[in-house]
Amino acid sequence: MAPPADVDALIAQLRAHVARSNLKSSGRRELILETLARAGRHVTAEELLREVRARDPRIGAATVYRTLRVLQDGGLVAERHFEGGGSRFELRGDEHHDHLICTSCGLIVEFEDDVIEREQQRVAAAHGFDIEMHRHELYGRCPSCRARNAVGTVPRRM
C-alpha cells in the first residue's frame, strides 16, 4: 500500500488546477479528493461514492464522476483498467510503480523493482525502442486466496 498522502498538499494542487482552469471552487471536490486520499487503495467510482456519502449523503454519483474527471485533468488521479475488473482510481504520485493483482479476490498490491525497470530499458533498447510509458501488471492469486483454495473454497473471479 502507498504511504499516506499529504491531504493538504493535494487540496492545494486541486485549488491551483481549479483556478488555472477557471472552474468554480467546490468543497465537495475537496471532500471527494480527501476521501480518495484517505482510502489508501485503488477504488472504483462506486466505492468512492459510498465512502463519500458516509461523510455527506447529499453528494450524488454525477458529482463523484465529474470530480474524478477534474482530478484526472489536474494530474492528481490516475484511472487504471485492470483485466477482469472495471476502472479503478488511485492518487498519482511522483514515483512509478507496478501492480500485482489477485485474480480471485481483486487485491491490488503496488510494487517497485529497479531490476525490472532496468531490464525493460535493456529489452527496449535491444529492439530499437524508446519507452514513452509502460504498464506492468502481474496477475495471480494472493496468499490468502491460495490458502482458502487449499481448504476447498472456490475463489471468486474479479
The number of folded domains in the chain is 2
Same domain, 17 and 75: yes
pLDDT band at 150 (very low <50, low <70, confident <90, very high): confident
Residue 154's identity, in one-letter code, is V
133-137 contact pairs (CB < 8 A, 24+): 135/98, 136/98, 136/99, 137/82, 137/83, 137/98, 137/99, 137/100, 137/101
pLDDT reported for residue 4: 59
Predicted confidence (pLDDT) per residue in 37-47, tens digit: 998 888 999 99
Predicted confidence (pLDDT) per residue in 6-59, tens digit: 889 999 999 999 999 999 888 999 999 999 999 888 899 999 999 999 999 999
Same domain, 78 and 33: yes
Domain span at residue 53 reads 7-91
Same domain, 134 and 84: no
Same domain, 15 and 78: yes
Domain boundary among 91, 111, 137: 91
C-alpha grid cell for residue 85? 475488473
pLDDT band at 1 (very low <50, low <70, confident <90, very high): very low
Same domain, 56 and 17: yes
Write down how long the chain is.
158
Same domain, 112 and 131: yes
Same domain, 63 and 137: no
Give the whole-number percent of the chain exceeding pLDDT 90. 49
In a domain, 156, yes or no: no
